[in-house]
């Protein structure tokens, strides 16, 4: 890697570019570096069994600078979820807002980690190494969200974090456009800005815009109302509480994260609801169905979520769907979750519930800026250089076009990928930006308690088992002559319907047994006594058999056991 001690500003993403999630951005100058956000990526169907994907911070140990701090823009999992893993690699203070600190504290306490967590607020000015960080209020779908105004030795850098421009937010705290304009007037070297909705024209709805639709649905409901939303969306939670109380309904909170985030928000004064208006979930069934609203987790229909348990009639669910119940999915589908949400909706409808979601009613609004809001941000800030962040490549490309239309020179717009770097340094009489070295970034897969122990080969095997099933063959061979000394044991999963025993299945297994016996008999004596070679010829023979018989490619697991008995 190049020597970073030269007088240049380096920006490089560890994650969050070319994808929605795993946000982690490094800003470095000389010996000082700061990591902005440190989140997880939620896996799609291509990563079976994986719980999270996290950025690889070990690359920072190869760099000549020292990470002085983690600075967090807001408390969503794709911005804070990887902190427990990150701190075990690089320990440093964490700076975050009040609510974000509360969420981080809960997470790190669960991991029984020691940490240095520092609460900051709007207008605070914090010196971290050679950087001066100021925190700007922005509106997003979680309280206490910040943009960052960073004074560096080469000029001011602004990172918007996730933002929208909502002039009527539930908490009355609007995005501080005046502060962005002030920085723009004084000169901004670089802007990094949220690209999530760069393909969507116009202006995003205000949180207040969905109030009328939610009020109409809740008022007209004759049964219980279930509202599935992100548990961190405290503004949505407050909106639902206000509407429900006005309709004479009490509130219940279903799901661990929903309950814990509600408790935290109340403690911090970010959520207003009286104790007497809250009902425990185990009391819900005793109430008049028309007098209760249930805020629940499971807006993405995760298999273990409260909504999924309702949809699939899980006996572990604290309640069951009744006729006239209304279920509202007050959220957007994270890419990759569309099918699971659709199945949950169908399952709820089959039980007699009325299900309302964003495609059929105005029950959700995005927390990310649309094109006109992004254009306003660019016009206020007037950056010399621009990096679109937080989005897939198509989102960042669209945002780059918007930046160019706002007067940013095309050669000053950089669409980076994870591991790319941008170096800004004085050049003769001006400051110039150029692409720097590419850092070897890998994605670390988290599966249960295992961190990084699931590799690409294991994922391919899981994918193959998911698509083709599993076939196991156990062969007992005589150690002296290599012949079969016991009948083969054959087991299969996911290839045929094991609940229905048919003559075809019996014939198929006999043919497979014949294939294995034949390939074993064809081997030389030396090969017979080499366990690995025998297992490989069995594997090859069975692959050939299943392609010919069924056109399938199951995972083949042969086991050869030698016996010394004569």
| Residue 119, number of CB atoms within 10 A of its CB | 16
What is the domain class of 9-202+366-451 according to CATH? alpha beta
| Residue 378, number of CB atoms within 10 A of its CB | 23
Q: What is the pLDDT of residues 55-95, one digit of tens each?
A: 888 888 888 899 999 999 999 999 999 999 999 899 999 99
Residues 6+ apart with CB under 8 A from 63: 1, 4, 28, 33, 439
Residue 51 CA, distance from chain mean position: 9
Fold of 207-356: Rossmann fold (3.40.50)
3-state SS string over 193-245? EECCCCCCCCCCCCHHHHHHHHHHHHHHCCCCEEEECCCCCHHHHHHHHHHHH
Higher pLDDT, 378 or 532: 378
Task: Read off the pLDDT of each residue in 218-247 and give the average, rounded to a whole number.
Answer: 96
Is the per-residue pLDDT at 174 higher than 90? yes
Q: What is the DSSP string of 421-481?
A: -EEEEEETTEEEEEE-PPP---EEEEETTEES---HHHHHHHHHHHHH-EEEEEEEEETTT
What local confidence, expressed as pLDDT, does residue 469 receive?
Answer: 82
Closest by alpha carbon to 92, among 168, 34, 170? 34
DSSP state of 275: G
- Angle (deg, nearest 10), helices 531-550 and 503-521: 140
What's the CA gap between 64 and 297, in Å, rounded? 44
Which residue is associated with the tokens 């690089």?
90
Kindly report which listed range (1-5, 178-182, 270-274, 462-466) carries the lowest average pLDDT score: 1-5
User: Length of the chain in residues, anyone?
Assistant: 566
What's the CA gap between 86 and 91, in Å, rounded? 7
Q: What is the DSSP string of 108-147?
A: HHHTT----EEE--TT-EEEETTEEEEEEE-B-SSSS-EE
Q: What is the DSSP string of 519-543?
A: HHHTS-HHHHT-HHHHHHHHHHHHH
Mean pLDDT, the chain, integer: 89
Higher pLDDT, 314 or 201: 201
pTM value is 0.84
Q: What is the pLDDT of residues 129-153, one digit of tens each?
A: 999 999 999 999 999 999 999 999 9
By the 8 A CB rule, do 261 and 75 touch? no
What's the CA gap between 503 and 60, in Å, rounded? 61
Fold of 456-563: Ubiquitin-like (UB roll) (3.10.20)
Residues 6+ apart with CB under 8 A from 282: 318
By the 8 A CB rule, do 380 and 353 touch? no
- Please, where are the H alpha helices in 24-133? 77-80, 83-89, 98-110
Percent of the chain with pLDDT over 90: 63
Closest by alpha carbon to 88, among 133, 42, 127, 38? 38
Contacts of residues 150-154 at CB distance under 8 Å and 24 or more positions apart, as own/partner, are 150/27, 152/9, 152/27, 152/29, 152/189, 153/7, 153/9, 153/29, 153/30, 154/7, 154/8, 154/9, 154/29, 154/189, 154/424, 154/425, 154/426, 154/431
Domain ranges (residues) in the chain: 9-202+366-451, 207-356, 456-563
Task: Read off the pLDDT of each residue in 32-57 and give the average, rounded to a whole number.
Answer: 81
What local confidence, expressed as pLDDT, does residue 485 receive?
Answer: 83
Query: Given pLDDT bands bounded at 50, 70 and 90, which one contains residue 277?
Result: very high
What's the CA gap between 543 and 553, in Å, rounded? 7
Q: How far is CA 262 from CA 6, 237, 297, in A?
A: 48, 8, 12
β-strand partners of 354: 326
User: Phi-psi category of 286—alpha, beta or left, where left has phi over 0 and alpha has psi -120 to 50?
Assistant: alpha
By the 8 A CB rule, do 73 and 52 touch? no
By the 8 A CB rule, do 374 and 198 touch? yes
């Amino acid at each position: 890697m190049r020597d970073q001690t030269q007088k240049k500003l380096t920006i490089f993403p560890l994650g969050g570019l070319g994808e929605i999630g795993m946000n982690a951005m490094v800003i470095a100058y000389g010996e000082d570096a700061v990591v902005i956000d440190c989140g997880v990526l939620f896996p799609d169907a291509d990563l079976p069994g994986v719980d999270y994907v996290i950025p690889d911070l070990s690359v920072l140990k190869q760099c000549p600078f020292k990470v002085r701090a983690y600075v967090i823009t807001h408390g969503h999992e794709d911005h804070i979820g990887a902190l427990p893993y990150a701190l075990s690699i690089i320990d440093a203070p964490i700076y975050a807002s009040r609510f974000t600190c509360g969420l981080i504290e809960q997470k790190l306490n669960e991991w029984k980690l020691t940490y240095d967590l520092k609460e900051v607020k709007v207008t605070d000015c914090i010196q971290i190494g050679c950087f001066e960080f100021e925190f700007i209020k922005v509106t997003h779908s979680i309280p206490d969200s910040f943009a960052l105004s960073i004074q560096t030795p080469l000029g001011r850098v602004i990172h918007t974090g996730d933002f929208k421009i909502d002039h009527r937010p539930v908490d009355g705290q609007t995005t501080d456009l005046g502060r962005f304009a002030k920085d723009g007037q004084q000169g901004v070297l670089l802007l990094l800005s949220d690209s999530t909705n760069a393909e969507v024209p116009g202006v995003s709805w205000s949180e207040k815009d969905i109030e009328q639709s939610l009020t109409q649905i809740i008022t007209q409901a004759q049964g219980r109302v279930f509202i599935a939303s992100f548990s961190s969306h405290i503004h949505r939670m407050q909106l639902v509480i206000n509407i429900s109380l006005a309709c004479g309904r009490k509130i219940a909170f279903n799901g661990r994260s929903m309950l814990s985030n509600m408790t935290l928000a109340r403690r911090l004064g970010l959520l207003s609801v009286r104790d007497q208006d809250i009902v425990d979930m185990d009391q819900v069934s005793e109430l008049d169905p028309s007098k209760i609203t249930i805020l629940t987790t499971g807006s993405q229909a995760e298999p273990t979520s409260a909504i999924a348990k309702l949809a699939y009639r899980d006996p572990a669910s604290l309640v069951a769907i009744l006729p006239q119940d209304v279920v509202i999915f007050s959220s957007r589908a994270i890419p990759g979750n569309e099918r699971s949400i659709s199945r949950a909706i169908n399952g709820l409808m089959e039980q007699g519930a009325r299900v309302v979601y964003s495609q059929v009613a105005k029950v959700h609004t995005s927390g990310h800026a649309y094109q006109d809001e992004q254009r306003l941000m660019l016009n206020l800030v007037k950056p010399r250089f621009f990096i679109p962040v937080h989005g897939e490549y198509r989102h960042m490309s669209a945002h780059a076009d918007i930046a160019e239309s706002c007067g940013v020179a095309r050669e000053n717009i950089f669409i980076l990928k994870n591991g790319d770097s941008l170096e800004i340094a004085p050049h003769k009489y001006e400051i110039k930006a150029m692409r720097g070295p590419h850092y070897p970034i890998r994605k670390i897969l988290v599966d249960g308690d295992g961190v990084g122990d699931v590799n690409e080969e294991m994922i391919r095997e899981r994918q193959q088992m998911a698509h083709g099933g599993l076939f196991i063959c156990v062969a007992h061979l005589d150690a002296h002559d290599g012949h079969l000394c016991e009948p083969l044991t054959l087991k299969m999963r996911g290839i045929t319907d094991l609940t229905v025993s048919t003559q075809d299945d019996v014939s198929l297994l006999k043919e497979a047994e014949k294939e294995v016996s034949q390939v074993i008999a064809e081997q030389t004596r030396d090969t017979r006594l080499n366990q690995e070679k025998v297992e490989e010829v069995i594997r090859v023979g069975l692959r050939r058999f299943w392609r010919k018989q069924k056109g399938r490619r199951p995972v083949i697991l042969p086991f050869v056991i030698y016996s010394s008995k004569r």
